[in-house]
Amino acid sequence: LRLLAPPLFAVDLPIPDFGRSAGESGAAVVAVSGGGVSLADSGFSPDPRAVIALVWAAGALMVIGFAIAQSVQLRQILAASGPASPEIASRVAVLSRRLGLRRAPPTVQVLDLVPPMLWAFLGSVRLILPSDLLARLDPKQTDTLLAHELAHLSRRDHWVRHLELAALAVFWWNPIAWWATKRVRRAQELCCDQRVAELLPENRRAYADCLVETARFLSGRGLPLGSPARAMADMTQMKGRIRMIMSNPHSRRLSLTSKIAASVILVAAVTITPMLTAQPEERDYSGEPITLSIKDADLNDVLATFAKISGYEILVEPGITGTVTMNVEQVPWDGALVSIVQNQGLEWERSGNQIIIRRAGSEKTVPAKPVKASPPAPPTAEVFNSNVHKYVEGGEIEPPEALDKLPPKYPPEMRKAGISGRVVAELVIDQNGVVRDVAIQESPAEELSAAATEAFEQWTFEPATMDGKPVAVRYIVTVEFKLK
């Protein structure tokens, strides 16, 4: 007992005196009767401090053993993993630089059903990405996922994990230790959400979609209680995270309400089940029942379908895009529409014979336009390119007119390094005003090219015309990155 108990406990062991008679106090008395053996009361009772020490040691060993078992399991998964694709590795390198990391962590893709995570062991850090999840995400969503995990690395959250383990091993018996660990991990997720919103403000909607898609991927996986990825899959705070990302990306402080809510969340059940099941809330919906089964459908195509079903004119704020996955049966169309709008992090209002859909927190002065289904994709790139005209000022082609120009985000590392200049690009704008391709022709830095390209791809135009008919054109645009 002295070897097992921590130093803070003094353990006194009773030692029987074999020189005493059988009837004296402290000696064991063995009585034989009818072939049975019984131990009479010897006056021995275990020291409560020794019992407490044993229980404490057993609990500490269980916490440490659980952590070791998780580490061994991850090492087995990594042994069967492969390096990330060149495209993913390139994006990890770019985002690592933008986050101020000295070097990008080694990145691996695994086929096992594991959550995306940073794994640190003996000073070595790896970024683990499940291939099945990456297959569900588009490039913008993938960037936000990578930025989130790299934000953990830039904050040194993996070192905090080691401190958490040490604290839980010592204070496993104290519920406050487990409560504090949950609070710390949720605060880390919120801080990383904030970092992603600052780093990729133009991808806030894609980030919200990424969180929901990741939650769907992780649902039902049975993550262990100690898994660092449980915070990423925690449904009880997902709704608040999405609201923060969509409505106030520049806020650096948690409100008092959020802090109070964090403690209530400890005993709350899942609160955003409707977001994951796509089943609308029970309200007084009066629309005709519909049955709908779609997967990764274009948001504007879906809204155009609802406009035909409902007879309403659906107006959408420019720049709103996304994909929709839904499976409902005999649900009022207006209830299904509300579910789609809420899952996309948008707001809506009905006015007369119009339904207006906007970004959450958007000014109502921003004009909304009738939703249009996406144009069919060209049969092949060669056929499309053969019909693209070169715009020449003063020629017979009327130039395209920009409708929605998202300003490019100045990369923080470029601003810090004092790098500025002009980026010139040739856009291929099709006959529907959609940017099909971006070719950078002049740029002072690769990071500025990437920021400009990301913005150009989201621009929309009134198409160029020739003889009164819309045509696809190659059109030169320029943006200036200026230091204030």
Instruction: Report the percentage of the chain scoring pLDDT > 70.
Output: 73
The gap between the terminal CA atoms of the chain, to the nearest Å, is 70
Helix 333-343 to helix 299-310 angle (10° resolution) is 160
Residue pair 303/357 in contact (Cβ under 8 Å)? The answer is yes
Q: What is the pLDDT of residue 164?
A: 87
For residues 78 and 311, which has the higher predicted lDDT (pLDDT)?
311
The residue-averaged pLDDT of 339-351 equals 84
Q: What is the pLDDT of residue 45?
A: 67
Q: What is the pLDDT of residue 240?
A: 74
Does 365 have pLDDT greater than 90? no
Q: What is the pLDDT of residue 348?
A: 83
Does 210 have pLDDT greater than 80? yes
Distances (CA, A) of 67 to 121, 224, 272, 429: 12, 11, 30, 54
User: The tokens of 258 are what?
Assistant: 């959020």
Query: What is the pLDDT confidence band of residue 35, given thresholds at 50, 70 and 90?
Result: very low
Strands 30-33 and 82-83: unpaired
CA–chain centroid gap for 435, Å, is 28
Rounded Cα distance, 466 and 400, in Å: 11
Q: What is the pLDDT of residue 264?
A: 46
Task: Write down all domains in the chain, each with its CATH number in brackets.
Answer: 81-275 (no CATH), 280-370 (3.55.50.30), 381-481 (3.30.2420.10)
Helix 204-218 to helix 175-199 angle (10° resolution) is 140
Of the candidate ranges 154-168, 212-226, 368-382, 414-428, the one whose mean pLDDT is the lowest: 368-382
The residue-averaged pLDDT of 220-243 equals 57
Residue pair 99/154 in contact (Cβ under 8 Å)? The answer is yes
The residue-averaged pLDDT of 440-462 equals 90
Rounded Cα distance, 370 and 314, in Å: 6
Helix 157-170 to helix 175-199 angle (10° resolution) is 170
SS (H, E, C) the chain: CCCCCCCCCCCCCCCCCCCCCCCCCCCCCEEEECCEEEECCCCCCCCHHHHHHHHHHHHHHHHHHHHHHHHHHHHHHHHCCEECCHHHHHHHHHHHHHCCCCCCCCEEEECCCCCCEEEEECCEEEEEEEHHHHHHCCHHHHHHHHHHHHHHHHCCHHHHHHHHHHHHHHCCCCHHHHHHHHHHHHHHHHHHHHHHHHHCHHHHHHHHHHHHHHHHHHCCCCCCCCCHHHCCCCHHHHHHHHHHHHHCCCCCCCCHHHHHHHHHHHHCCCCCHHHHHCCCCCCCCCCCEEEEEEEEEEHHHHHHHHHHHHCCEEEECCCCCCEEEEEEEEEEHHHHHHHHHHHCCEEEEEECCEEEEEECCCCCCCCCEECCCCCCCCCCHHHHHHCCEECCCCCCEECCEEEECCCCCCCHHHHHHCCCEEEEEEEEECCCCEEEEEEEEECCCHHHHHHHHHHHCCCEEECEEECCEEECEEEEEEEEECCC
Does 263 have pLDDT greater than 60? no
Rounded Cα distance, 328 and 27, in Å: 77
- Model pTM score: 0.44
Of the candidate ranges 11-15, 390-394, 439-443, the one whose mean pLDDT is the lowest: 11-15
Rounded Cα distance, 128 and 141, in Å: 16
Residue written as tokens 């070719």? 439
Q: Rounded to the nearest 5 degrees, what angle is found at the Cα of 203, between the Cα atoms of 200 and 209? A: 130
Query: What is the pLDDT confidence band of residue 57, given thresholds at 50, 70 and 90?
Result: very high
Rounded Cα distance, 208 and 343, in Å: 9
Distances (CA, A) of 15 to 25, 37, 42, 418: 12, 22, 12, 79
Instruction: Report the percentage of the chain scoring pLDDT > 90.
Output: 15
Residue 170, classified by CB atoms within 10 Å of its CB into exposed (0-12), middle (13-18) or buried (19+), is middle
Rounded Cα distance, 344 and 209, in Å: 7
Q: Which residues of 179-188 are buried (b: 16+ CB within 10 A; e: fewer)?
A: eebbebbbeb
The residue-averaged pLDDT of 461-474 equals 88
- φ and ψ at 157, to 5 degrees? -65, -25
Strands 389-390 and 473-481: parallel
Beta-bridged to residue 414, according to DSSP, are none
Q: What is the pLDDT of residue 423?
A: 93
The residue-averaged pLDDT of 343-370 equals 78
Amino acid at 97: R
The residue-averaged pLDDT of 150-157 equals 90
The residue-averaged pLDDT of 316-338 equals 84
Does 234 have pLDDT greater than 80? no
Q: What is the pLDDT of residue 271?
A: 37
Helix 86-98 to helix 446-456 angle (10° resolution) is 110
User: The tokens of 329 are what?
Assistant: 């049966």
